């Protein structure tokens, strides 16, 4: 692996150079806008003034922006690992061409929900300080559940990896496209780097997630009980926020926006006539079960659905858990490799044989 150590200012110049040198036509990147942090799409390098790539905040899974992106434009994206994983799944689902997107993956120590960050922005700051986590927790501000159980906070996926190391910032090429892009920038000289520190950091991330994953699995396993499973969805109002915020829900026309999935007027009366009685809003459980089936292979466990739920249904205990169970059967991991085929698009003779 080839890379370079940079300071904060040099990193900002790198992003500007991607645009100025024509390596990308548009850059999608989180920036500080006043007191807030938000993803921005930038084409003018002079408009790139306050990158906030290490700020521990989750607003949306920005892979959503890549859906149906035209291939003739070269897009650069600066993503958290869960967003890069979602982007890789969208490539497999033919939502955009991989060659048209330069994926820059930023090491992520964990994030806070948007509303929690906004309340405690001064204490949290622009990067996660481990010493403040417990103090913030006592104030009711906790790392998002999806981040607590995440083992992929330092993911070597995409084209370029950026991570904080020993007071500096490591920028490393992890694909040919990434190396070509970084080589064009005159101020950067790539050299072979020792990856042992990265491997050690990954091992520490997996180890630190273990206690949270045990709690998560225990809570999720309880949903095997049908009554508890039904109970957890009793408050669903079918607002569809979870669907809209999910980066791998990609259908242009959703079944639940069509008459059969969203009955209104005469259609609704016809169903009542057949059944005698229906719950309003109708078919909330069907909606959730359909989403589980639709996304079970491609779910990247980002937690965007849980953040978006106005009823605070613990979707992080449901969708990632079911997704992991299904993917284990096929030895598949979403977002691992853009060349790895989705399980339902291939057939292996022994793939559903009984397993220990």
Higher pLDDT, 51 or 264: 51
Contact 154, 202 (CB under 8 A): yes
Contact 216, 317 (CB under 8 A): yes
pLDDT, residue 131, reads 78
pLDDT score of 356 more than 60:
no
The per-residue pLDDT for range 150-159, each reduced to its tens digit, is: 999 998 889 9
Higher pLDDT, 342 or 345: 342
Percentage, residues of the chain above pLDDT 90 = 60
List strand residue ranges (DSSP E) for the chain, in order. 2-6, 26-33, 36-42, 57-58, 75-79, 101-106, 112-113, 160-165, 168-173, 191-192
Instruction: Report strand pairing: 191-192 vs 2-6.
Output: antiparallel
Residue 132, token pair as written in the block: 């403040």
Q: Average pLDDT over the chain, rounded to whole?
A: 90
C-alpha distance from residue 281 to each of 106, 236, 237, 238, 318 (Å):
41, 9, 6, 7, 21
pLDDT score of 173 more than 90:
yes
pLDDT, residue 352, reads 64
pLDDT, residue 347, reads 72
pLDDT, residue 263, reads 83
pLDDT score of 354 more than 70:
no
pLDDT, residue 185, reads 84
Least confident of 93-97, 137-141, 278-282, 334-338: 278-282
Q: Quote the distance between the C-alpha of residue 291 and its chain's center.
A: 17
Residue 227, token pair as written in the block: 């009554």
pLDDT, residue 50, reads 87
* Res. 271 pLDDT band, cuts 50 70 90: confident
pLDDT score of 217 more than 60:
yes
pLDDT, residue 315, reads 94
Beta bridge partners of 162: 106, 171
pLDDT, residue 351, reads 65
Domain positions in the chain are: 2-216, 224-345
- Rg of the chain on CA atoms, in Å: 22
State how far the Cα of 141 lies from the Cα of 138, in Å rounded to an integer: 7
* Res. 355 pLDDT band, cuts 50 70 90: low
């Amino acid at each position: 692996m080839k890379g370079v150590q940079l300071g904060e200012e040099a990193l900002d110049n790198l992003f500007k150079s991607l645009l100025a040198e024509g390596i990308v036509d548009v850059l999608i990147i989180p920036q500080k806008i006043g007191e807030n942090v938000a993803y921005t799409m930038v084409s003018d390098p002079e408009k790139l003034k306050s990158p906030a790539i290490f700020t521990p905040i989750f607003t949306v899974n920005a892979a959503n922006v890549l859906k149906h992106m035209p291939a003739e434009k070269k897009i650069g994206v600066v993503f958290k690992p869960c967003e890069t994983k979602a982007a890789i799944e969208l490539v497999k689902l033919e939502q955009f061409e991989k060659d048209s997107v330069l994926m820059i993956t930023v090491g992520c120590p964990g994030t806070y929900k948007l509303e929690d960050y906004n309340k405690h922005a001064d204490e949290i700051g622009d990067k996660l300080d481990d010493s403040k986590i417990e103090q913030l927790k006592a104030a009711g501000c906790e790392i998002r559940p999806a981040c607590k159980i995440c083992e992929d906070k330092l993911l070597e996926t995409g084209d370029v990896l950026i991570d904080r190391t020993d007071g500096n910032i490591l920028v490393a090429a992890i694909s040919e496209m990434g190396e070509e892009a970084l080589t064009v920038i005159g101020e950067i000289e790539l050299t072979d780097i020792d990856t042992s520190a990265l491997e050690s950091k990954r091992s520490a991330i997996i180890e630190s997630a273990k206690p949270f994953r045990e709690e998560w699995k225990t809570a999720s396993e309880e949903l095997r009980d049908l009554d508890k499973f039904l109970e957890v969805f009793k408050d669903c109002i079918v607002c569809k926020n979870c669907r809209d915020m999910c980066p791998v829900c990609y259908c242009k026309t959703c079944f639940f926006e069509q008459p059969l999935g969203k009955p209104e007027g005469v259609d609704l009366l016809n169903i009542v006539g057949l059944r005698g009685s229906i719950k309003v809003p109708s078919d909330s459980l069907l909606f959730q079960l359909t989403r589980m089936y639709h996304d079970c292979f491609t779910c990247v466990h980002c937690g965007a659905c849980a953040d978006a739920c106005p009823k605070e249904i613990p979707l992080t205990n449901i969708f990632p858990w079911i997704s992991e169970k299904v993917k284990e059967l096929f030895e598949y991991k979403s977002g691992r490799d853009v060349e790895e085929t989705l399980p339902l698009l291939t057939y292996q003779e022994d793939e559903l044989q009984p397993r220990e």
